[in-house]
Structure 1
Amino acid sequence: MIRNRARQSFEALIRILQPCGVSRFWSATPASSRYLLFRKKLFQRLSNELKAQTVCEAAREINQSAMENCSLFGKVESSEGIPQVDSKVQTKATGNFIDGELAMIIRENIKKHTSMKVIVKLTEKGIFSCKYGAIPHRHIIGETCGREFLTSQDIQVLIRRPTLHDYILIMRRLPTISFPKDICTMLMMIDVSPGDSILEAGSGSGAMTLFLSKAVGPQGKVHSMEMKMKHLDLASKNFNRWKDSWNLSHNCKWTSNVEFHHGCLINNGYRILEGLKFDGAVIDMEECAAAMPVLIQFLKIGGAVCFYVANITQVIEICDIIRSQELPFTVENIVEVQHTDWIVNPARRRNGAFINSTSNMSVHLTDDDGKEAKTPERLIGPAQYIKYIAKPWKGSEHSAFLVKAVRLELFPSSYKV
């Protein structure tokens, strides 16, 4: 009877608070079980004193006392009577989320082999919402990166900082991006090093641009060209969005070492890139073969260029234009990168229980003379192991052919026999 009255009083208080606009009190902090339990007990103790207090004052006391006694929170400040977590208590040196940086929210379904991966920019007033529930951004800011959070539907999600690999796969795109499996190979082909000057013809959505910027470092420079203005704007936005988030959460700053150019390498490349020399180049254009004569003017002798082409016909065109026009290039590698994802998960029954395997296990010990020593009984007996299922899940489809060509001083007429 007393419990029902306490519950009814608690619900009545919430109904009174909602018209006043004070119901935001109840979502001012993460919905941790410790906080909710303490708040409920405290309300039961104060429920008899509500007659002597206004409803708003009672609500403030309940939340303020609960937050002060819960070790999950840092310093709390009130703004217009609404408790808020001070995000400045946590610094980037401790590996905690900061207002304005990117956060990756993950929820995986092992049984169906599906996952939700979303990248959001944290703001004090922002709210992330999906089919699993909602999480206010202020509950994430100041918390440790790489931990689980409860949504409004009491469903756990993992929130961590995204890697560059995660970012380019989830970021907004217009043209198809260069996939990470191909990007790594291209970086190896042109041998990018810190301090290099690299030419990129075909910015696309900015995936390759980000990896080139990281590879050349603060002392290097990347010149990225794109003929479509909407693609160039998107590539620039994606680059700046990642750079700004990185600089908030890392002590080592990501410098603005990329210069975007609006134009086509074939048509106005001579004018835009006049006087520049590059240590390497990445070409992702529809007419890659037509760009070969232009590259002679800007690529240093010994520098490598990697062509990202969709079909073998374009590969043949590149080889043929070098032969027919006797261009000072030699094709060294033509590769197609294959990539296979694997699933390794514990075996489960239909009810979700793990499948165990029991086997007898004995341990034999020897002394210094090589004789078998007496084995303690605690080391002998049945041992249980959880079975695992390992299988390939998704094999990569064809994305592109990668062609590596090296700039020479003269056309190689006879070194290939």
Structure 2
Amino acid sequence: MLQRWGGRVASLCQAVSGYRVPPCGCQALLTCRHHTCPPGAGHPKGNTDSPGDGPMDTPPGLDTSPPSDQPRFVGGSRAWGRSLSPLHRLSQMLPPQFLSPEIQDLRSAESEEPLLTHSPPEGSSGLDSQPDGPPAPLGTAFAPGDLVIAEFKRRHYTEFKKMFSLTDSGKLNSNWGVVGHMEIVGKLPGQRLRTSRGFEFLLKRPSLEEYILLMKRGPTISYPKDIAAMLMMMDVSPGDVVLEAGSGSGGMTLFLSRAVGLEGRVYSFEVRADHHAIAKKNVSKWRSAWDVRSRNPWPENVHFINQDLSAALPTMGSVAFDAAALDMLNPQVALPAILTCLKQGGVCAVYVANITQVIDLLEGIRSCRLPLLCEKIQEMSVKDWLVAPSVRKDGTVSQRVEPQGNTESELEGNGADPQSDTEMLSNAVKPFGQVPYIARPLPWQAGHTAFLVQLRKIRAAPTRTEPEESS
């Protein structure tokens, strides 16, 4: 067997050594696999390497023609015109002046006509030019009473982030400098402003998620990832009437208020007076800032009740709830009172901190024979990623390393500085496909926050009192 395989290898090596590749084929192999050699290039008669050469010898047994039953690949794409490379398909949507020479070569190799590029005017990076058309919308400028977030990042990481309300005589003091509130009034969200020390702060309006994470807290807040899952469990829609047991700091209350809309209502119960006051203050602060930034006022659909849930529900009359959100230490104690006001088929979304509370909740439902069905128990996890251009400590963008030999020795032999090109192009916009990226999870992640339990109110099937008649 070894002798037979050895003979085959020897014959194959002899056949390959006798095969001569045309010059254009060598160039295609050395540059890029997307370059193709047109028929007859470099050999006018179709069977010679160059004028004056003899016929190109094709060794016996070596078939160089593509099989007929296989799809032909032309210029790095299939025969029916679909590109194989996502980078190539993405480059088709970009203007030619933003493409690197390598991408331009790939595009020009597929078409007979060369790719025409238009260089931007001197002193311009090419990004400042805007196409002719209607002006871009500007949005609403900052005004006194508006909520603002000032953020400063250094090398992909946030070093300063603060939310505050604009006033006529206020100032933002930080280790990175001072900014007066009147300097921010009139600016648009997304603009940058220099501090007294020369640092640039990014100004933006807080989203509801950012407001909940940065607002003043009393008890521990429900994190937005858990709030979103609870809203999906309860399937809250505009016009619903929702019960909230445990106002906390008002985070869940704001999301429920936005979900039910103008025609809905939210009844938020809190037994502690200090937590009740903090929740009302946070909701009022968000509503006031919303009225400054938006033409449509925030709906006033939240009713705060500083009373025990079991004692307050019997006095509310004939209020029927479509869903209920519970964030309590012992939710199984309040379930019997909630079930009397919850609609048939309604969902209770329960927020508990540890798994022992989940066991106590299910045991309380079982021992009290409550008409509740546990549909799911979830623990939400979110992983944040960092995807950004690779930047050195001095702020310059790293160079893309080509898969070649020992480039450092070549540079040293030529007397070239390896960082000279990077320093010259640090302020210029590099073409598409020339900047290396880093992609990795952030070093800090939000771990376990809570267990979410979905309970649905059910009705047992009636028991049969008479035996079935036999047919």
Aligned 1:103-118 pairs, distance under 5 A: 103-110=148-155, 113-118=157-162
Aligned 1:351-370 pairs, distance under 5 A: 351-357=394-400
With the length of structure 2 as denominator, give the TM-score of the two structures: 0.61
Which of 242, 252, 261 is the matching residue for 2:296?
Answer: 252
Amino acid at match of 1:133: G
Amino acid at match of 2:454: K
Which of 208, 218, 238 is the matching residue for 1:194?
Answer: 238
Number of aligned positions between the proteins:
299
Which of 149, 166, 180 is the matching residue for 1:136?
Answer: 180
Aligned to 1:227: 271
Report how far residue 408 of structure 1 moved.
1.4
Aligned to 2:220: 176
Amino acid at match of 1:342: W
The SS at the match of 2:319 is coil
Kept in 2, the 8 Å contact 1:225–1:265? The answer is yes
Report how far residue 201 of structure 1 moved.
0.3
Is 1:280 aligned with 2:280?
A: no
Aligned 1:142-181 pairs, distance under 5 A: 142-181=186-225
The SS at the match of 1:286 is coil
Runs of 5+ unmatched residues, structure 2:
1-136, 404-430, 464-471
Aligned to 2:377: 334
Aligned to 1:96: 141
The C-alpha deviation readout for 1:47-68, integer Å capped at 9, x for no partner, is xxxxxxxxxxxxxxxxxxxxxx
Amino acid at match of 2:166: L
The SS at the match of 1:331 is strand
Amino acid at match of 2:152: R
Report how far residue 350 of structure 1 moved.
3.5
Kept in 2, the 8 Å contact 1:335–1:402? The answer is yes
Aligned to 1:388: 437
Runs of 5+ unmatched residues, structure 1:
1-91, 361-381
Distance 1:407 1:354, change over 3 A: same
Which of 261, 279, 282 is the matching residue for 1:217?
Answer: 261
The SS at the match of 1:240 is helix
What is the CA–CA distance in structure 2 between the aligned matches of 1:184 and 1:169, rounded to whole Å?
14
Amino acid at match of 2:141: N
Distance 1:121 1:272, change over 3 A: farther
Report how far residue 245 of structure 1 moved.
0.5
Distance 1:412 1:207, change over 3 A: farther
Is 1:126 aligned with 2:175?
A: no
Kept in 1, the 8 Å contact 2:151–2:158? The answer is no
Amino acid at match of 1:99: P
What is the CA–CA distance in structure 1 between the aligned matches of 2:437 and 2:218, rounded to whole Å?
40
What is the CA–CA distance in structure 2 between the aligned matches of 1:320 and 1:412, rounded to whole Å?
24
Report how far residue 184 of structure 1 moved.
0.3
Report how far residue 409 of structure 1 moved.
2.6
Q: Point out the structure with the larger helix share.
A: 1
Which of 279, 289, 293 is the matching residue for 2:336?
Answer: 293
What is the CA–CA distance in structure 2 between the aligned matches of 1:383 and 1:104, rounded to whole Å?
32
What is the CA–CA distance in structure 2 between the aligned matches of 1:333 and 1:384, rounded to whole Å?
46
What is the CA–CA distance in structure 1 between the aligned matches of 2:461 and 2:279, rounded to whole Å?
36
What is the CA–CA distance in structure 1 between the aligned matches of 2:432 and 2:292, rounded to whole Å?
49
Is 1:317 aligned with 2:360?
A: yes
State the percentage of identical aligned residues.
40
What is the CA–CA distance in structure 2 between the aligned matches of 1:273 and 1:409, rounded to whole Å?
24
What is the CA–CA distance in structure 1 between the aligned matches of 2:351 and 2:261, rounded to whole Å?
23
What is the CA–CA distance in structure 2 between the aligned matches of 1:203 and 1:383, rounded to whole Å?
50
The C-alpha deviation readout for 1:290-342, integer Å capped at 9, x for no partner, is 11111111111011010000111111122122222221110101000011111
Report how far residue 356 of structure 1 moved.
1.9
